[in-house]
Amino acid sequence: MRPMAALRHAPIARAAQFRALAVSCGIGSRETAAKVAAVPPVSKKMAPGVLIGMSESDLQQLALEFGQDKYRGKQLHQLLYKRKIKEIQDLSQVPLAFRNELQEAGWRVGRSPVYKEVTAADGTVKLLLKLEDNRLVETVGIPVEDAKGSVRLTACVSSQVGCPLRCSFCATGKGGFARNLKSHEIVEQVLALEEIFKRRVTNVVFMGMGEPMLNLKEVLEAHRCLNKDIQIGQRMITISTVGVPNTIKRLASHKLQSTLAVSLHAPNQKLREQIVPSAKSYPLDAIMNDCKQYLLETSRRVSFEYTLLAGVNDTVDHAIELAELLHKWGPGYHVNLIPFNPIDGSEYKRPYRKAVLAFSAALESRKVTVSVRQTRGLDASAACGQLRNEFQKVPLLGDANIEESEQVEESELEMAVSS
Ligand code: SAH
């Protein structure tokens, strides 16, 4: 959150803020300035000046800092996350003076405009949000009706603009990497989808653009907000990774009740390196060991994603080898098969249904639980990342903030891992 120094352009607000703190600390007016100056900022974790992502208690503290009653914080919380207000001036339930002071101090809600919306025949909606620096990020809403007629709405959210990992079959990787998303830029994807569908998002999967484990700090902050502020159950949230050394352990230490999904795509190291170049720096045995530890530490089953590429990794022999690998590392694993979604500029082919079923049956007969992901939204620009690539071949020019290279070398990957 914004440190107090950021309020320097708002003397009235600052005076009010000091008054409020003095009252809440029970200190006299003469001592106020010196004592208040030692009070730490509300929280260093929040992106400066952005309301989305803030918890109810942070918002209450903010209200106090601006000389308002604490309940204004609760009101802000409702307006941001339930009413989905986008501009400070639209927070019409809160006093005009407070709104003005927030604005003058540089606060903003932190919602981005929808740049493009595409609806597929099956109801899947893909959105491109235009971020403050003109970069485009993709998010997908997938409505699913279950047998009892109740509808789940899954948000497939992005964690980065682009991706530096360049998995050979992935559209996002082909479009290059621009930057990590801030936590509020992840949270707002869910709010934008709730607005469009006019219903609550029930599930969130970090399976959009980017590698969440390369942006773990912001992903964890977004996870907190999605869970606590937007009230999506932890068990309804899945974090998907292709594997970044040391990060599965870090995630496990947070003991979330969310699902870890690991994108495996091959049953052995040699084939995996062909499909996933970043696999070279994280041997399969090390990934499997980290997954085992994740399960022990969180008691949560790990799920493995396996994109089926015709003639590359989709034979029954591959399935047998995969089952052996999983059994070697213990029970409690699930495989999610994803038939390849064709993308521009890729030679890979989608396997025939027969091959998918044979692969799946070979796993099941070896007591590996398996599901086949239904392809959704194909007519709305195929695989994830493709819609963004259509509109942003390279990040838009003419923006002072755009300085990172589009192509990140492997040696630079470490720098992309958030601390
Ligand atoms: N970087 C993370 C999350 C993003 S991709 C990860 O790799 O897990 C989410 C899933 O979609 C991954 O399993 C990825 O391998 C898969 N995927 C990406 N492009 C695909 C395509 N064209 N066809 C099928 N699956 C794809």
Cα 307 to ligand 1 centroid, rounded to whole Å? 7
- The domain spans of the chain are 1-39, 44-109, 114-418
Per-residue confidence (pLDDT) for residue 6, from 0 to 100:
36
Per-residue confidence (pLDDT) for residue 379, from 0 to 100:
65
Instruction: Give the pLDDT mean for 229-252.
Output: 97
Instruction: Give the pLDDT mean for 50-67.
Output: 95
Percent of the chain whose predicted confidence (pLDDT) is above 70 = 79
CA-nearest residue for atom 7, ligand 1, is 242
309-363 confidence digits (pLDDT tens) = 999 999 999 999 999 999 999 887 899 999 998 888 889 999 999 999 999 999 9
Q: Which atom of ligand 1 is nearest to the CA of 339?
A: 24
Per-residue confidence (pLDDT) for residue 265, from 0 to 100:
98
384 included as an active-site residue: yes
248-271 confidence digits (pLDDT tens) = 999 999 999 999 999 999 999 999
Cα 374 to ligand 1 centroid, rounded to whole Å? 14
What does the angle CA 194 – CA 164 – CA 118 come to, to the nearest 5 degrees?
30
110 phi and psi, to 5 degrees? 95, 30
Per-residue confidence (pLDDT) for residue 325, from 0 to 100:
97
Residue 401 predicted with pLDDT over 50 = no
Closest CA to 143 of 189, 101, 203, 83: 203
Residue 415 predicted with pLDDT over 70 = no
CATH 2.120.10.80 fits 44-109, yes or no: no
What does the angle CA 315 – CA 320 – CA 325 come to, to the nearest 5 degrees?
125
Cα 212 to ligand 1 centroid, rounded to whole Å? 12
Cα 327 to ligand 1 centroid, rounded to whole Å? 24
Q: Which atom of ligand 1 is nearest to the CA of 167?
A: 15
Choose the weakest-confidence range: 21-30, 76-85, 378-387: 21-30
Q: Is the Cβ atom of 158 under 6 angstroms away from ligand 1?
A: no
356-399 confidence digits (pLDDT tens) = 999 999 999 999 999 998 777 666 565 666 666 677 665 433 33
Q: Is the Cβ atom of 279 under 6 angstroms away from ligand 1?
A: no
Assign domain 114-418 to a CATH class.
Answer: alpha beta
The pairing of beta strand 259-263 with beta strand 302-308: parallel
Cα 308 to ligand 1 centroid, rounded to whole Å? 11
The preferred substitution site among 142, 156, 161, 169 for testing ligand 1, maximizing ligand atoms within 8 Å of CB, is: 169
CA-nearest residue for atom 2, ligand 1, is 241
Q: Is the Cβ atom of 61 under 6 angstroms away from ligand 1?
A: no
